[in-house]
Amino acid sequence: MSSTAAQAAGALAAPATGTIPRHVAIIMDGNGRWAKKRFLPRFAGHKAGVEAVRRVTREARAIGIEALTLYAFSSENWRRPEEEVSDLMGLLRHFIRSDLDELVRENVRLRVIGDYRRFAPDVVEMIDDAVARTGGNDGPILAIALNYGAQAELAAAARRCAAKLPPDRIDEAAIEAELQTRDLPPLDLLIRTSGEQRLSNFLLWQAAYAELLFVDTLWPDFDEAALREAVAAFGGRQRRYGGL
């Protein structure tokens, strides 16, 4: 499945009522390959990826998705060259400056999961301000995963549970209450772009019963039609949660 195929078929109609996932998460993969195919520097791919973020977040609101979680910077991304990490931080600064007013205006609640306080002080301050400015909104949630790793999240949740509860009282609900996504709806659909088929340490607990969708489209080419196609695919699946 690709956005090109979706466009060729024409714009998809809005999904039928009851088939829209409440919470969608996306592993935004393929920026580097997108740039390489065009003989451009990797930064050009990341910049095009930011435009895809804008398209998809707006379309998610139009469709009626309650929460959208985007894997923007993993705890493993520090292994990338220093120049590339610096470029990514620059794009994050630019996104907050240019898009925050729109998020406030559109009643979007911004959430950040991950240990973003490892970032430069000015970036941390911008993130804190953005979260605060949207804190009074009561509309859809846009959650950005920054310096996030699911294994670290689970380990931290286990430590907090152990500090509060005796072992025989630590159950699934207790761990769930300590996760950084505890104020989000249950994860319904997890999408990964670029053709790779792995979760890459993203929302491992939350994805236990999520529908997984792996698409060949590189992230900068993922557009409104591609999101609607993914939502339509979700609507066609039967979710039994281990039952019949």
Give the pLDDT confidence of 129-164 residue by residue, as tens digits. Answer: 999 999 999 999 999 999 999 999 999 999 999 999
pLDDT in tens, 18-67: 589 999 999 999 999 999 999 999 999 999 999 999 999 999 999 999 99
14 lies in a domain?
Answer: no
162 lies in a domain?
Answer: yes
pLDDT in tens, 185-194: 999 999 999 9
CATH number at residue 70: 3.40.1180.10
Provide φ and ψ at 184, rounded to 5°: -105, 155
94 known ligand binder:
no
160 known ligand binder:
no
77 is catalytic: yes
CA dist 133 and 129 (Å) reads 6
CA distances from 165 to 153, 155, 160, 179 (A): 18, 15, 9, 16
210 lies in a domain?
Answer: yes
Q: Is residue 211 predicted with pLDDT exceeding 60?
A: yes
- Rounded to the nearest integer, the mean pLDDT of the chain is 92
156 lies in a domain?
Answer: yes
21 lies in a domain?
Answer: no
214 lies in a domain?
Answer: yes
Q: What percent of the chain has pLDDT over 70?
A: 92
29 is catalytic: yes
Number of domains composing the chain: 1
* Domain housing 133: 28-231
Confidence at residue 18, expressed as pLDDT on a 0 to 100 scale: 55
198 known ligand binder:
yes
Of 77, 115, 201, 216, which one is the catalytic site residue?
77
93 known ligand binder:
no
Q: Is residue 8 predicted with pLDDT exceeding 60?
A: no
144 lies in a domain?
Answer: yes
18 lies in a domain?
Answer: no
